[in-house]
Chains A and B, each alone.
Chain A
Amino acid sequence: MSNDSKPNEIILTPMQRGISSTTFTGRPQGMQLRETLKLDLIDLDDYKYIIRIPEGTTSFNPSFYLGLFFPSYKKLKGVEGFKNKYEIVSQEKDEELRLLLEKHLIECERQAQNEYAGRTGLDSIF
């Protein structure tokens, strides 16, 4: 498949949220899912991917997000590189919830960006 063709899909499942859970949460769980999805290998190929968040997901936690995607940020050299390769899409039908989830993802991205730049809250001191 060429770089310009239809992007591949990575579909997250409700089971990956945990039993009777509607949230993707926890850094170790994010890292575990990264291994399951073999994102370390996927980062190295030339294809584009759409990551689909399943319906009924109420929250995408920053810790989970960073556990899952932060190594990709590093490999793809920041937010731009990450966004060029991955697109995260919610499958939620409820418009309000989808917007909320998008807000969560924007916050996750902000934190990933700060982390990538190595910035901390103590920087204002120096």
Chain B
Amino acid sequence: MNRTAVRALAAAVALAATAVALPSASATGTPASGSVALTATNTFLSQALQSGIAAVPLPSATGSYDSTAGATVSFPVTGGNAVLPRFYGSLTLGGGLAFADGRTGKIVCFHQVAFGADTQALTAVPDGGTAPVALFDLGDNTVGSAVGVTPQTLTGDADVDPAGAAYLDKALNTTFFTGGQVVGSLSVTFTPAS
């Protein structure tokens, strides 16, 4: 990544650091909790970096790196009505995600992150926009928890959504992203408000 892109990304991170949304809760009960963790394998990271592309979590999303598993962005659950074992409803998530391309110097930030239990897609709204874009989908090997089990879970391979690939390539002026591109894994953990 060149110096221009690094500066652009750093600025974006600072600008995009918005107030942290608090989890919704019933009047007297426990708020919804959990997270959606997107892990990019080292293979995907290498391919992306070689193409000049990097992604950074925006608060209140958090990032981590493991030399074996790869890089993980974790979005905290802030609310939602999902029933994951029934593939019903959706989750609202805190934080955001910024993508930057070091070659073109372009950057795009997303907030209003959500996960659809029915679509099994992670969506987010680009800053300045209003319509959510499906960025990543649960792909192969998706396994879920049974009805009645807490916390509810869904885990599987993470693929780039075709709509997300088209949006990112256009926004970053790249040709790197492809619908169905295997990124790594997606793990959803959710305990409803009570």
Decide whether A and B are members of one complex. no
A residues apposed to B, CB below 8 Å: none
